[in-house]
């Protein structure tokens, strides 16, 4: 299994706005080969820290998604966020190979 976490830190007063964006996500990734799950996590002690947690069967499956036209299209939509401050906050991306369960 392969896990990708993408974390952003937003002003606490904007966290709910970003949560709503993800609650209404397109879900197109859900149909991709090797995709297992998506969760949006909110740090319990730092409400402005949000992490997109995705699980994949393999790194290769994730890379097919991350280099696809659909991935690029979805991430282009960020430029249309009503709040451009959110669109300009870069995520910290971490990738993990699961080595034990």
Mean residue pLDDT across the chain:
91
Identify whether the C-beta of residue 52 lies closer than 8 Å to the C-beta of residue 38: yes
Report d(CA 35, CA 66) in Å as an integer: 12
Interval 69-91: pLDDT, tens: 999 888 777 766 667 777 778 89
Please state, in angstroms and rounded to a whole number, the distance separating the CA atoms of residues 30 and 42. Answer: 21
pLDDT at 59 over 90: yes
CB burial of residue 59 (10 Å; 0-12, 13-18, 19+): middle
d(CA 96, CA 58): 10
Q: What DSSP element (H or E) covers 73?
A: helix 69-76
Q: Which domain holds residue 67?
A: 2-97
The proportion of the chain whose per-residue pLDDT surpasses 90, expressed as a percent, equals 69
pLDDT band at 48 (very low <50, low <70, confident <90, very high): very high
Number of domains in the chain: 1
Of the candidates 39, 21, 20, the residue with the CA atom closest to the CA atom of residue 29: 39
- Give percent above pLDDT 70 in the chain: 93
CATH code (residue 41): 3.30.70.100
């Amino acid at each position: 299994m392969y896990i990708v976490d993408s974390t952003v830190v937003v002003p606490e007063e904007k966290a709910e706005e970003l949560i709503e964006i993800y609650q209404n996500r397109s879900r197109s990734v859900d149909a991709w080969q090797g995709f297992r799950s998506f969760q949006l996590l909110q740090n319990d002690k730092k409400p402005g820290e949000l992490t997109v947690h995705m699980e994949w069967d393999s790194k290769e499956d994730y890379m097919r998604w991350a280099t696809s036209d659909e991935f690029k299209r979805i991430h282009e939509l960020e430029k249309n966020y009503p709040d451009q401050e959110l669109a300009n906050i870069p995520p910290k991306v971490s990738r993990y190979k699961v080595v034990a369960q």
